[in-house]
Amino acid sequence: MEQLNAVLALPETEAKVAELMETYTGNGRVVMLGVDDMDIFKGISLKLLAMEELLGQHPEWRGRLVLVQVANPARGRGKDVVGVQEETYAMVKRINEAYGAPGYEPVVLIDQPLQFYERVAYYVIAEVCLVTAVRDGMNLIPYEYVASRQGNDRLDRILRLCKPEEKKSMLVVSEFIGCSPSLSGAIRVNPWNIEAVADAMECALVLPEKEKNLRHDKHYRYVEKHDVGYWANSFLQDLERTCKDHSNRRCWGIGFGLRFRVVSLDLSFRKLAMEHIVQAYRRSKTRAILLDYDGTLMPQAINKSPTAKSVQILNSLCQDQRNAVFLCSGFKRCTLDEWFPAENLGMAAEHGYFMRYELKLRLKRDAEWETCIPPADCSWMQIAKPVMELYTETTDGSIIEERDTVLVWNYEDADPDFGSCQAKELVDHLESVLTNEPVSVKSTVHSVEAKPQGVSKGLVARRMLAALQERGMCPDFVLCIGDDRSDEDMFQFITSASCADSFASTAEVFACTVGPYVSEELALENPALGEEDPEDLCAPKDEGLSMAGSKGHAELHQGKLTTVCISQVPDRSLLLASSIKSVITMGRMYRMGLRMIATVLRRMCIPSQVAMKVTKPDDANEPLEDPQLR
């Protein structure tokens, strides 16, 4: 602003303004101004077409209206620049021949460099400024125009302005330029719509003088306040605010080359070795194990059925009388009955709507499934299903999975970007049509779910721990593993203060996430899968997730909380390792994550089986040597 005000005060500027006033306004003419580079994206030809349309539709402006187009030299060279120049010259010639008269040219093209004071002089006399770029960044021309129209006392005398209320300025700007949203008083147009631009130009000319003055005052206050000093100060404030907590955080250098980045973590963040989980498992007397199925025990694949190895691991865990094992899944009850024949495995179907276990938390194969909430009216599915079918038709690779109480729109096999966009629209669409229904709509990994309100995996964890507490069994070891946002409810519950009384005072809680979605507090898991140099993996914080695991049980009681993540997506994952070898492919990372979970479960099973066979009950909890941990 200081530089522009200094130019406005120059004698050269005053002389140029007086000259232009005599040339144009002295003859009763109204000046509209355009200042653009001779570039294909600046929309000069579109502006000229709009001027031609305006003169054709409004003959009263012929002989009175002049468009002064300042065309700065092109910054590049080539056929495109030559083509723009030839097109511009031809259009100016055509308009002047059609609507011109002796001593009057409707379009004045200045195709030469101007001194800054000369350009400011044109700003001062112009009633309207036109910016019709089809694509541009932070174009400063509108700001310069508004500040120049404010002028000073000496320029006001030249312009014959007696009162501040007589100062006015009008802007017609393209909606495709960066400064358009900041100028709320400007008339925004689509430059490709020639008729709309012509109408906007005519509107800017005939608007009442008081309205022009109000818009000018509003724009000038904004320009005066938001100068370079303001933006520099705001940047420094943002920088200080961002760095305020850096002294309380630990920084890690991740990756190398173009993928190198620095990650800031809380000081309580610590590395976790797999042996820590196994040793805590051995020391414990009562264990609560909550496992998600889809994407956790089994990768996302066409064949959703579990492998024989997964079933064997679950059977081994369930055979230990100290273990309370619960499997949470979104599949139907009949599907889980068929897949998991383990005798002591508790199960929750359809994300917790149905559960099956007996009072001692030991499953009976002939036990009936029960609902976690009162039976829901599922008539809403008749409304939601046609909406999902519409998106299925337009999204190749997507399918609808219909269950007893849940509708799932799965786009795992669709294009990732398009599927994600469609999922966001579907969530909004379903929320609008199901506003008056007791339904919750959520977006998870590659799917959109509509289910009864109040149903969550957190409710499964609550009922499981409540059943244990009723029997006087407070677990001193809790392992909770999931892979997406639907599992956050489990993490939130086991890390909440309301859950503290359900655990033993020395309980250790492990909340693990497999996949690209991460709880906000993470520990690093070392997937030591028998490799000589194992890589440590975790993923950065996802702003869309809750603070599951944000406060460990060390603050609630004397136990410990650890959250673990293995990420599926290399671009969002952090690779922490002792060597530069920790750059690995996405497929290998995800396989390692699943193998890590399987290895943890397997290592927990082996000591338990040995203890049951070769030790006495009194010392069954003593640490045993596991040959796999040597």
Averaged pLDDT of the chain: 75
d(CA 97, CA 305): 78
Q: Which of 493, 475, 467 is nearest to 362 (CA)?
A: 467
Length of the chain measured in residues: 630
Confidence label for 94 from pLDDT (cuts 50, 70 and 90)? very high
180: its two tokens: 């358009």
Highest mean pLDDT among 81-90, 599-608, 612-621: 81-90
Q: By mean pLDDT, which of 93-102, 565-574, 587-596 is the weakest?
A: 565-574
Q: Is residue 620 predicted with pLDDT exceeding 50? A: no
Bigger pLDDT: 299 vs 486: 486
Confidence label for 302 from pLDDT (cuts 50, 70 and 90)? low
CA distances from 102 to 47, 63, 96, 99 (A): 24, 10, 11, 10
CA distances from 398 to 77, 102, 301, 534 (A): 48, 68, 14, 37
pTM comes to 0.50
Q: Does domain 381-452 have CATH number 3.10.50?
A: no
- The single residue listed with the structure tokens 């909770």 is 480
pLDDT of residue 273: 64
pLDDT of residue 298: 67
185: its two tokens: 């008083």
Q: For 39-60, how does the pLDDT look when each residue is reduced to its tens digit (9 = 90+)?
A: 888 999 999 999 999 999 999 9
Q: By mean pLDDT, which of 267-276, 370-379, 405-414 is the weakest?
A: 267-276
SS3 of residue 357 by DSSP: coil
Q: For 507-534, how does the pLDDT look when each residue is reduced to its tens digit (9 = 90+)?
A: 777 766 654 444 443 333 333 323 333 3
Q: Is residue 541 predicted with pLDDT exceeding 80? A: no
The predicted model gives 442-451 an average pLDDT of: 85
Q: Is residue 122 predicted with pLDDT exceeding 60? A: yes
Q: For 225-263, how does the pLDDT look when each residue is reduced to its tens digit (9 = 90+)?
A: 888 888 889 899 988 887 777 777 777 777 778 778 777
Confidence label for 268 from pLDDT (cuts 50, 70 and 90)? low
Q: By mean pLDDT, which of 84-88, 463-467, 496-500, 570-574 is the weakest?
A: 570-574
Q: Is residue 169 predicted with pLDDT exceeding 50? A: yes
pLDDT of residue 514: 59
586: its two tokens: 């996405």
Q: Is residue 184 predicted with pLDDT exceeding 90? A: no
pLDDT of residue 363: 42
Q: For 202-225, how does the pLDDT look when each residue is reduced to its tens digit (9 = 90+)?
A: 999 999 988 999 999 999 998 888
pLDDT of residue 602: 65
Homologous superfamily, domain 2-228: Glycogen Phosphorylase B; (3.40.50.2000)
Is residue 609 a contact partner of residue 590, using CB atoms and an 8 Å limit? Answer: no
SS3 of residue 395 by DSSP: coil
Q: Is residue 426 predicted with pLDDT exceeding 90? A: yes
pLDDT of residue 462: 83
Q: Is residue 116 predicted with pLDDT exceeding 60? A: yes
CA distances from 297 to 180, 308, 539, 595, 596 (A): 51, 12, 19, 9, 10
Bigger pLDDT: 458 vs 603: 458
Q: Do domains 2-228 and 381-452 have the same CATH topology?
A: no
Residues 175, 178, 184: CA angle, nearest 5 degrees: 60
Question: Amino acid letter at 85?
Answer: Q
Bigger pLDDT: 524 vs 103: 103
Q: Is residue 626 predicted with pLDDT exceeding 50? A: no
Rg (CA), the chain: 35
Highest mean pLDDT among 154-163, 363-372, 490-499, 517-526: 154-163
The predicted model gives 145-149 an average pLDDT of: 91
Which value, to the nearest 10 degrees, does the dihedral of the CA atoms of residues 593, 596, 600, 603 take? 160
pLDDT of residue 303: 66
Confidence label for 358 from pLDDT (cuts 50, 70 and 90)? low
Q: Strands across the sheet with 574-576, in order?
A: 271-273, 524-526, 536-538, 574-576
What does the domain layout of the chain look like in residue ranges? Answer: 2-228, 274-334+473-616, 381-452
Across-strand partners of 349? 354
Confidence label for 300 from pLDDT (cuts 50, 70 and 90)? low
Confidence label for 31 from pLDDT (cuts 50, 70 and 90)? very high
